[in-house]
Structure 1
Amino acid sequence: MERMWSPWRSQYIDAFKEKKDENACVFCHSINENIENDNCLVIHRGKKAFTIMNLYPYNNGHLMVVPKRHIFKINQITTDEFAEITKQITLATEALTKLYDPHGFNIGANVGKAAGAGIDTHLHFHIVPRWNGDTNFMPVIGEVKIISHELLITKNKLIEIYKELN
Structure 2
Amino acid sequence: MSAPTRAGDPDGLERIWTPHRMAYVRTAVDDEGCPFCSIPGRPDEEALVVARGEAAYVVLNLHPYNPGHLLVVPYRHVADLTELSPEEAGELMTMTQQALRTVRAVAQPHSFNVGLNLGRSAGGSLSEHLHQHVVPRWTGDANFITVVGGTKTLPQLLEDTRTLLAEAWSRA
Taking structure 2 as the reference length, what is the TM-score of the superposition? Answer: 0.80
Q: Which residue of 2 aligns with 1:31?
A: 40
Q: Map residues 33-112 of structure 1 onto 2, 5 A cutoff.
A: 33-35=42-44, 38-112=45-119
Which digits, 9 at most, give the CA deviation of each residue in 1:3-53, with x for residues without a partner? 77xxxx7xxx69x5433xxxx111110123221xx4211110000100000
Q: State how far apart, in whole Å, the 2-side matches of 1:2 and 1:110 are.
A: 18
Is the counterpart of residue 18 in structure 1 residue 25 in structure 2?
Answer: no
Give 2:9's aligned residue.
Answer: none
Residue-by-residue CA offset, 1:94-152 (whole Å, 9 max, x unaligned): 11001110000000011111011111110000000000111123246446432221100
> Are the structure 2 counterparts of residues 111 and 3 from structure 1 closer, same or farther at C-alpha, using a change threshold of 3 Å?
closer
Moved over 2 A (4+): 1-4, 16-19, 139-145
- 1: distance between equivalents of 2:18 and 2:54? 44
C-alpha separation in 1, matches of 2:122 and 2:18: 24
For 1:88, what is the secondary structure of its paired residue?
helix
Amino acid at match of 2:100: T
Q: Which structure 2 residue ranges, 5 or more long, are not aligned?
A: 1-16
Q: Quick one: which amino acid aligns to residue 111 of structure 2?
A: G
Pairwise CA distance, 1:68: 0.8
Matched residue pairs, number?
Answer: 151
Residue 152 of structure 1 is matched in structure 2 by: 159
In the aligned structure 2, how far is the partner of 1:17 from the partner of 1:89? 28
User: 5+ residue gaps in structure 1?
Assistant: none
Partners in 2 of 1:99 and 1:33 — Cα distance? Answer: 25
- TM-score normalised to structure 1 length: 0.82
Distance 2:18 2:147 in 1: 12
Secondary structure at 1:119's aligned position in 2? coil
Q: Distance between the aligned counterparts of 1:131 and 1:146, measured in 2?
A: 14
Percent identity reads 34
Secondary structure of the structure 2 residue equivalent to 1:117: coil
- Secondary structure of 2:46's match? coil
